[in-house]
Amino acid sequence: MAGMQEERGPGPRRAWRYGPPWWGRAGTGPEAGTARWPWRSTALVTAFVLVGSGFAAHGQPHREQLDGFARVLLLAASVVLLWRHRLPVAVTFGAAAATLVYLAAGYPYGPVFLAVAVGCFSAVVSGHRRAAWASVGLLWAGHALVAMWLYRWLPPPGDRAASVSQELAVAAWVPAVAAVSELARVRREQWTRDRAERARAARRRADEERLRMARELHDVLAHSISVINVQAGMGLALLDSDPAQARAALTTIKAASKEALGEVRQVLDTLRAPGAAPRAPAPGLGRLDELAEQAAAAGLTVEVAGEPPELPPGTDLAAFRIVQEALTNVVRHSGSRHARVRLENAAGRLRLRIDDDGPATGADTGGSGNGLAGMRERAAALGGTIEAGPRPDGGFRVLAELPLRTREDR
């Protein structure tokens, strides 16, 4: 039946319509369900309560002397704390009930209240604030009833009524215990939130690192494979008619694949050993001439205008990859065999403009591929912008603006 939970045991089955009763509810803190049994602290509290109550009895001869029943009640109030992490509600009420019976029987006041304080503390920390307040409040109300009215019929004989001021002084300990418990609960919740935030930040950094690696691999492989594809097609076409030119195409393929393998190995080495120094410097705008030579091997003439300024390593790499991806798109998606790369330094920003005269070829010329998305992500990560699209007079233009200094470099 929906909404019902069954508890099975050696006896007959018992169904609870609205979940387990209050005495069977487990804690909701981080330790609930997986907490270790608090053997040491419970043994320490039990020993303190038993020994301390013995000493307290010597100073209160007018109260009933400790006997077997008194020690059973002291043990019950203390040993029940062994379940305080698993059943905090039942424990706090159990400790309060055993303590109230102990006091109503006329036994000496003493450290038995420590067991109640520990039970209340555990209930508040585990999220059962109302149960903790209710148990301590009922204990105080029961004690006030015994001390101010029922003392006539309860031991010890000849006991006198307690004054209102005495009961108010006892009641002052209730908010003190609750306040300490609330402070511990708030600190624990803050610690849990901080730990979760650190875990989320670590996962976010790992995701960003994986994305960066994927972007690097895409840019390296897309450019190199485009060059290899063009040269392989040229080599096949000229294999019979012009063997020398075919051999040159194969030489270009070998050089492009070797360089791609080197860059891929460098990226993967960084992935395997985070924080390790790269074996080779990261590419930058200082290698534009090499990029132009690779494009020339694929049949694309590249004209470079402007001098690259001094850039931080991250910006330098991003600028190089943007130019590389733009030239790769020209090779793959444009009928033009001529491209122009212009570098400008204006108002603390680097402007990169890559133009080709078109016309566009193929079905993927709309600028929605992963290459353009990767360029936009690189620029956005540095606080820059990318504009890419057809020119009014034909052809295609990629215009990137990158800050010469990022926030990390200032």
Confidence (pLDDT) at 14:
45
Distance between terminal CA atoms of the chain? 65
Domains of the chain (ranges; CATH) run 5-171 (no CATH), 284-410 (3.30.565.10)
Distances (CA, A) of 129 to 40, 181, 253, 259: 25, 9, 73, 66
pLDDT value of residue 313: 85
> What's residue 177's pLDDT?
75
A 10 A CB-CB count for 357 gives 17
Residue ranges in the chain whose pLDDT is less than 50:
1-20, 22-24, 29-31, 33, 277, 363-368
Separation of alpha carbons 376 and 111, rounded Å: 69
pLDDT at 406: 61
Exposure string over 145-155, b if 16+ CB within 10 A, otherwise e: ebbeeebeebe
Instruction: Tell me which amino acid residue 96 is.
Output: A
- 396-403 and 385-390: which strand pairing? antiparallel
**What are the DSSP calls for 290-346, one per residue?**
HHHHHHHHTT-EEEEES------HHHHHHHHHHHHHHHHHHHHHBS-SEEEEEEEEE
> What backbone phi and psi angles, to 5 degrees, belong to 401?
-125, 125
Residue 367's pLDDT is 43
- pTM score, two decimals? 0.47
